[in-house]
Structure 1
Amino acid sequence: MRMITFLLVGLTVHVVFFISIFDIYFTSPLVHGMTPQATPLVPPASRLVLLVADGLRADSLYTLLQNGSSRAPYLRKVIEERGTWGVSHTHVPTETRPGHVALIAGFYEDVSAVAKGWKENPVEFDSVFNESRHSWCWGSPDILPMFSKGASGDHMYTHTYPAGEEDFASTDASRLDTWVFTQVKTFFESAKSNSSLKASLLKDRNVFFLHLLGIDTNGHAHRPMSKEYLDNIALVDTGVAEMVSIIEEFFDNDGRTSYVFTSDHGMTNWGSHGAGHPSETLTPLVAWGAGVNSAHKVTEPQPYDDGYLQEWNLQHTRRVDVNQADIAPLMASLIGVPFPLNSVVKMTQKKETTLSFLFTPYQPLTESKQAEFTHKARILIQLEKYEDAISLCQALISRSLEGLVYYHNYDRFFLGCSVVFGFVGWTSYVVLVILKTHASLDRNPSLLRQTPSRSLARLCMCVTVGITVFLLIQRSPVTYYIYCLLPVPVWYSVLKESGTLTDLIRSAPSLPLWKCFCYFVLVAFGIELLVVSFFHRAMLTVGLTSLSLWPFVSSLFGRAKVRALSWSLGCLCLAAFPLMPVVGREPNIHLVTCAGLLTLFTSACYLWSSRHRTPLHLSDRPQFVAQMLLVAVCAYVPSLTHSSLQQKQGLPLLNQIISWTTLASSLLVPLLSSTRIFHRLLSIFLSLTATYLLLSTGSEALFPPVLSWLMFVWINIEQEAMLAQGVSGRQELSTIDFSANIDITKMRQLKLDDIRRSYFFVFFIITAFFGTGNIASINSFDPASVYCFLTVFNPFIMGGLMMWKVIIPFIIVMCTFETIQVATQLSSRSLFLIVLVISDLMALHFFFLVQDYGSWLDIGTSISHYVIVMSMTIFLMLLSVVTHTFTSKRLLLWRRPKMHFT
């Protein structure tokens, strides 16, 4: 019961620390209730046509063919003769939803919004569509509802195709764009005979939005350099030309239509997006029509030194780059609608909720300096010094943006200190619990029953009241109370255990202090290596190479040469995986087949070698035969699926049935096997590897067999390590049964070497996470990995399958750690507490590395690392319970009937 209580408290504390990062770094910057603002100038256009080619890279549109022609001749002609062109710079994450929010709403959505909803608004935001008189939209069912839901009035009309049309296995995904063009053509044809619709179309402040998803779908399915992707660009160019002709004809060529052609994000060469590579963040922008400057020829070098002008052969035409969020106010000004009310005015709001003597305004832009800026600008305008006025306003805008960031992050330092204080307190408490309950210390009988003094309790109560009153005056959110008050009971628990510190001091003379110091230095170095590995995966290779030397620097090599050599060889083989590229790998289905054969070979060798030592029961043999046959089938299914998709024959139904059945049974089948240690582990390995093969496209399929081999050696070599330490009563591995009742009297106290075991576990968990990829980088996701299960676009199911692929190596390592705890006669709580301390130290390190400056990629990476480590800690708490059930429980589908004699 105490263990369950401790886990629940620990889980609660870590969930609070995890959620705190969203209040500190992921809060929405929006302020509602503002007065609409619009340009006072007469709008040059009555209507706007926005065309978004989803997933279109800038270079794919602008680069000429080898013969000097363009694959998009109409848009090229617009660039050189009629309009203005440039690059729209997107922000991370380069995904469809945040890209469209920036384009149409004019602000960069906070990262947490991606997890809150795909088709709906997680926060209330305004858009150009909402401010228009009427908006007609055609395209994807994943994007259009996001802007229609919550819009005021009934002036938005959306037309979407069925979600099932977004199929990566489609023979021709460009039909998605053809559908849009056909629907728009039909719409204007019908408007000619529909008087009410025609009257609405002839009014001003109208918007037409064409969302073209075909390029993105073809890019995911065939890569951006494929014929399908490039041909789709040509199709879009032809469709744009036809749409312009139809619209101009309908409005009698009145010259009151503005056109904006752009993209929400680009795409990497390997067909993914989400991170900050230039191929993802550089998207095309072409604008023409009413209110847009016509093409401007230049003879002097332009202020762009990225080399693209020469590469695209556009150095003779003026290039105008913008930030993606600036396209929304551009569109609003063209048709004269108010700018989207996504205001981020923060100073007044923060001043009202902060005590006057504690409020520190943004010094470069105080209220007096704001008035001074405005006064100077008006004088310059009156003197007709417009260039100087523009420069002054640009400086004011720059300082205003910096001030917005200052006020948006105003509470960050205060909240950060509270979280760190609580974090340090929790880690200190766990260390004291380890020393008190799992270490052999000299106990002071006079302190064993010591209770916390009343003065300590009163002090904590006074602090609690003081913090609560302060937060009430500040009108702080409810979550602030949790972050600020949580450290109080945590530190109360730490101070309450002062007797344990006294026991540690009393035991110091009898402790091997030099050995303790060496262990702590090595673990500290190891933790730093793991932290660096989050930035450079190759550090895992360095770590695995170092671990391969462990038996040689200890006495293990002399005791068990074969196991020591197997350990070293296993570490070196596993060390090759972090050196492989995370993204950009071409599919190699032959390696998936080889991984299946390797799995079958190693399993067969084990069963043959253990036929005398740990023979299979007759009732278990059919299950292992069936599992090995399933692995063979799963090794062949990806090859068959890949071949079918290459021939554009779609996903075979039989393959889909096998894949989903294997996935559904992967957690059930091992529970049917014997609970003897290696029989259960082999069943788990076969079941999980079968699913992993279905989710693999190349060399990563070899990772589970190699990892499982090393984990098997680790279990065996830890037995030798126990003998080397003089631990008596070692139980033979072959006789261990997971379901056997543990004799508590045989449980031993913690030793220094258990710190090493716990660190090995954390290291292998990180290796399992980053060994074959980096789930922290969205663009490492390859849709081809889930093609055995589905090809129709579904972000949640696809994301869930990819997460399960990441979890499978986790489970293998967790089951190994569970086995080691049983084999080394140590309470599972003991080792897990050490693991908790190591993980929390890593999380605290990453908390200090979080930054809100630099590139968007740097900011996002620093935050994601903290989130990953915290998620891992919480996940390990939950997974430890699941793993215990996974290894020790058995399902009996039938029982022998009892015979009764009379």
Structure 2
Amino acid sequence: MAFHFKAILFVTSLSLLLHTLLLYCPVDILFKSKDPLPVNALRPQLHSLLPPANRLVLFIVSNATASDAYSVKNEDQPDLPFIRSVIRKKGRWGISYFSNSDANDDFYNNNNTRNSLPFLTGTYSDHNEDTVLRSASKVWIWCSHDGSCLNNDTGTITHLFESPVTAVTTSNASLNWMSDHIENLFLVKGNEETVGEELMKDKTIFYFNFGSADLSSIDTAMQNISSFFDSYYKDRKTTFVFTASVLGNATIESLPLMLPFVAWGAGIKNPRSKHSSLLTVHDEWSEQWGLERLERVDLDQTDIAPLLSILIGTRIPLHSLGVLPVHYIHYNKEFFAQAFYSNALQLLELVTAKEKSLHSQSLPFLFRPYHKLTQEIKHKRKTMISSYIKQRKLQEALDLSMELASLAKEAIQYYDVYHQLSVRLIMASLLLGWISYLVTILTRQDHDMEPADSRKRGLYYFIIFSFILGLGFLLWYQGMPPHFMIYFCGALLLWSSAINNCNYRAIYSKYSSWFISGCIGIVPSSKTIYQLCTNKSQFIFVQLKSYPMDPIVVAPPSHFH
């Protein structure tokens, strides 16, 4: 009795330990290689054409949804009258989606960070410090008391001004401070030679983070600031962008998936009515906001980074996964073709770097490059696009660049999940090893089940261990996370115990008829059923015919007493 109790306790403890380990399986099966590549592994991509804007003004609010920005009580009284007038008269608008599956994964994993800014990095990973700001010639940043001020290490000379107002109840005071500080900077300090030169530099970014202040007050502040910029810079070379950021203290459930995005000024198309648009996305949201007659161009948060970079002529962030939303840009076709080609080349740099990294971590004869974008295909496409641009076949160059960018995105996704097959195989080995071990526990007390002879056990060991050891070597060689080796060791131990204590041939001979009958619907022999169903109190006798009959319970034979 003690032996049975110890055996049950051991199996139960092992089962709890194993199933606790397997709780991580759903996450690890979807394993993705998300570590950012070193910056020196990527070459920046630039085009030589003059950009449409000399400076960029960013208006950022925290955790504001598209409904917050676009909702309207009635046609004559919108919640944000200035933004409403921009949408109707000056620029383009849409929904910026924060809904990519990678976004949710990375947001959850990086929830300890204070802010997530994919519109500046082009990626949802907060491990990436390369942003649109890093390649600007000058960055000026204003933050309200509850906004997330950016890291001052942007790679450029940065002026960071943070609101001295700290009381939560004085959000509007922070906005007033911003307006006063800007006027003082431009009108007073701007007369100084050094400050004046810095303010007039090209490729300059002015970043305003309003935090979580009242949106109607933010709307007024944006109107005042944009009017001031238009009056100060009379060259009509300023681009304005309004969008939202996601604070790190938000949860997945409260994550705003639809963020506002409005752009106007230099290089931005004017509004288009519904009947003149070929790509308008209209649904119940546009109608609910009273904007169903205007073209709405939606985009992913990561697509904003290449748009901002192209507008002021800086390089796209090296790790950006965004695709340039060309339907926002108003400029000549040559600029379109060159800009999208540089975006496609930047994505190809990511593909090449990921491919080289994986190739160096894989056995040469096992490496499988993405078949739609091999080195030969990449070279051929780049040669064709360059030829089209030289021949002034700009529409053909643009179409081919868009196709190349789409293939590059597919290739990046392919290489991100490249290791999933080996991960799934080692986990399958672990689960099958556990099932085999349970079979040995349930059958080894049967006196007919003698262990297999040593030669056959040696063959089983060789076949299964060769497979598992091969997978373990691949995990180690490919630089997989260390805890994956726990799956590997668990599979080895379980299969070792199962093979050592069980005669699989005897199990197959005795129970295969049950398995086959379950698959093809044929009932096994009455002798087998008799042997398995008898005990010292009663037994079940089933008379077999071409179809199953109701069981008849009868008294056990006399020799059982």
Same fold (TM over 0.5): yes
Counterpart of 2:117 in structure 1 is 101
2:406 is the counterpart of 1:398: yes
Counterpart of 2:374 in structure 1 is 366
Alpha-carbon separation, structure 2, partners of 1:142 and 1:15? 41
Q: CA deviation at 1:422?
A: 0.9
Alpha-carbon separation, structure 1, partners of 2:310 and 2:81? 29
Q: CA deviation at 1:34?
A: 1.0
Contact 1:90/1:265 (<8 A) preserved:
no
Q: Which amino acid aligns with 1:332?
A: S
C-alpha offsets along residues 425-475 of structure 1, whole Å, 9 cap, x if unaligned?
234435655777xxxx6567977xx9x967766777655654455556656
Any gaps of 5 or more consecutive residues in structure 1? Answer: 110-120, 166-171, 216-231, 267-271, 515-902
* Cα pair distance change 1:372/1:464, threshold 3 Å: closer
SS at structure 2 position matched to 1:361: coil
Alpha-carbon separation, structure 2, partners of 1:140 and 1:9? 54
Larger mean CA deviation between 1-10 and 316-325 belongs to 1-10
Alpha-carbon separation, structure 2, partners of 1:204 and 1:25? 43
* Cα pair distance change 1:126/1:160, threshold 3 Å: farther
Write the mapping of 1:110-125 to structure 2, written as runs, cut at 5 A: 121=126, 123-125=127-129
Contact 1:90/1:264 (<8 A) preserved:
no
Write the mapping of 1:562-577 to structure 2, written as runs, cut at 5 A: none
Contact 1:125/1:341 (<8 A) preserved:
no
Counterpart of 1:292 in structure 2 is 268
C-alpha offsets along residues 630-670 of structure 1, whole Å, 9 cap, x if unaligned?
xxxxxxxxxxxxxxxxxxxxxxxxxxxxxxxxxxxxxxxxx
Q: CA deviation at 1:238?
A: 0.8
2:417 is the counterpart of 1:409: yes
Alpha-carbon separation, structure 2, partners of 1:455 and 1:501? 13
* Cα pair distance change 1:282/1:358, threshold 3 Å: same
User: Cα RMSD over matched residues?
Assistant: 4.4
Alpha-carbon separation, structure 2, partners of 1:201 and 1:209? 13
Q: Which amino acid aligns with 1:18?
A: Y
Q: CA deviation at 1:502?
A: 7.1
* Cα pair distance change 1:37/1:467, threshold 3 Å: same
Q: CA deviation at 1:153?
A: 6.3
Counterpart of 2:174 in structure 1 is 179
Q: CA deviation at 1:23?
A: 7.1
Alpha-carbon separation, structure 1, partners of 2:269 and 2:181? 31
Counterpart of 2:522 in structure 1 is none
* Cα pair distance change 1:46/1:488, threshold 3 Å: same
Given candidates 169, 185, 189, the residue that maps to 2:184 is 189
2:532 is the counterpart of 1:508: yes
Write the mapping of 1:6-85 to structure 2, written as runs, cut at 5 A: 7=13, 11=17, 14-15=20-21, 18=24, 21-22=27-28, 24-28=30-34, 30-32=36-38, 33-66=41-74, 68-85=76-93
* Cα pair distance change 1:162/1:496, threshold 3 Å: farther
Counterpart of 2:340 in structure 1 is none
Contact 1:134/1:207 (<8 A) preserved:
yes
Q: Which amino acid aligns with 2:432?
A: V
Q: CA deviation at 1:261?
A: 0.4
Counterpart of 1:578 in structure 2 is none
What TM-score do the two structures reach when normalised by structure 2?
0.68
Alpha-carbon separation, structure 2, partners of 1:154 and 1:444? 82
Write the mapping of 1:851-862 to structure 2, written as runs, cut at 5 A: none
Counterpart of 1:351 in structure 2 is 359
What TM-score do the two structures reach when normalised by structure 1?
0.45
Counterpart of 1:261 in structure 2 is 242
Contact 1:262/1:283 (<8 A) preserved:
yes
Tell me: higher relative CO, structure 1 or 2? Use CA pairs within 8 A at least 6 residues apart.
Answer: 2
* Cα pair distance change 1:104/1:181, threshold 3 Å: farther
Given candidates 414, 426, 437, the residue that maps to 1:429 is 437
Q: CA deviation at 1:241?
A: 0.8
Alpha-carbon separation, structure 1, partners of 2:29 and 2:319? 19
Q: CA deviation at 1:411?
A: 1.9
Contact 1:49/1:260 (<8 A) preserved:
yes
Counterpart of 2:227 in structure 1 is 245
Alpha-carbon separation, structure 2, partners of 1:156 and 1:508? 83
Alpha-carbon separation, structure 2, partners of 1:430 and 1:184? 72
Larger mean CA deviation between 10-19 and 36-45 belongs to 10-19
Contact 1:329/1:339 (<8 A) preserved:
yes
Contact 1:44/1:334 (<8 A) preserved:
yes
Q: CA deviation at 1:416?
A: 1.1
C-alpha offsets along residues 161-206 of structure 1, whole Å, 9 cap, x if unaligned?
79983xxxxxx6xx43542452353254146544455543333333
SS at structure 1 position matched to 2:362: coil
Alpha-carbon separation, structure 2, partners of 1:190 and 1:461? 72
SS at structure 1 position matched to 2:52: coil
SS at structure 2 position matched to 1:494: helix
Q: CA deviation at 1:423?
A: 2.1
Q: CA deviation at 1:149?
A: 7.3
SS at structure 1 position matched to 2:24: helix
Given candidates 426, 432, 449, the residue that maps to 1:418 is 426
Alpha-carbon separation, structure 2, partners of 1:62 and 1:475? 48
SS at structure 1 position matched to 2:218: helix
Alpha-carbon separation, structure 2, partners of 1:443 and 1:182? 88
Contact 1:463/1:488 (<8 A) preserved:
no
* Cα pair distance change 1:510/1:132, threshold 3 Å: farther
Contact 1:435/1:500 (<8 A) preserved:
no
SS at structure 1 position matched to 2:276: coil
2:291 is the counterpart of 1:314: yes
* Cα pair distance change 1:17/1:158, threshold 3 Å: farther
* Cα pair distance change 1:416/1:371, threshold 3 Å: same
> As a proportion of its length, which structure holds more helix?
1
Contact 1:20/1:483 (<8 A) preserved:
no
Alpha-carbon separation, structure 2, partners of 1:433 and 1:176? 68
Q: CA deviation at 1:28?
A: 1.0
SS at structure 2 position matched to 1:351: helix
* Cα pair distance change 1:392/1:488, threshold 3 Å: same
* Cα pair distance change 1:479/1:273, threshold 3 Å: closer
SS at structure 1 position matched to 2:60: strand
Counterpart of 2:199 in structure 1 is 201
Alpha-carbon separation, structure 2, partners of 1:235 and 1:367? 53
* Cα pair distance change 1:234/1:357, threshold 3 Å: same
Q: CA deviation at 1:326?
A: 0.9
Counterpart of 2:514 in structure 1 is none
Larger mean CA deviation between 485-494 and 3-12 belongs to 3-12
C-alpha offsets along residues 379-398 of structure 1, whole Å, 9 cap, x if unaligned?
43344332232222222222
Alpha-carbon separation, structure 1, partners of 2:449 and 2:116? 68
Alpha-carbon separation, structure 1, partners of 2:90 and 2:302? 24
C-alpha offsets along residues 331-358 of structure 1, whole Å, 9 cap, x if unaligned?
1122222211115422333333333332
Alpha-carbon separation, structure 2, partners of 1:276 and 1:141? 22
Q: Which amino acid aligns with 2:122?
A: G
Q: CA deviation at 1:486?
A: 3.8
C-alpha offsets along residues 388-430 of structure 1, whole Å, 9 cap, x if unaligned?
3222222222222112212222221221122122123234435
Contact 1:428/1:494 (<8 A) preserved:
yes
Write the mapping of 1:497-576 to structure 2, written as runs, cut at 5 A: 497-498=501-502, 508-510=532-534
Contact 2:449/2:502 (<8 A) preserved:
no
2:175 is the counterpart of 1:159: no
* Cα pair distance change 1:74/1:25, threshold 3 Å: same
Given candidates 490, 496, 516, the residue that maps to 1:492 is 496
Contact 2:32/2:417 (<8 A) preserved:
no
Q: Which amino acid aligns with 2:309?
A: A
Counterpart of 1:735 in structure 2 is none
Given candidates 132, 135, 142, the residue that maps to 1:131 is 135
Alpha-carbon separation, structure 1, partners of 2:50 and 2:467? 60
Contact 1:138/1:211 (<8 A) preserved:
yes
Any gaps of 5 or more consecutive residues in structure 2? Answer: 1-5, 321-349, 512-527, 541-561
SS at structure 1 position matched to 2:372: helix
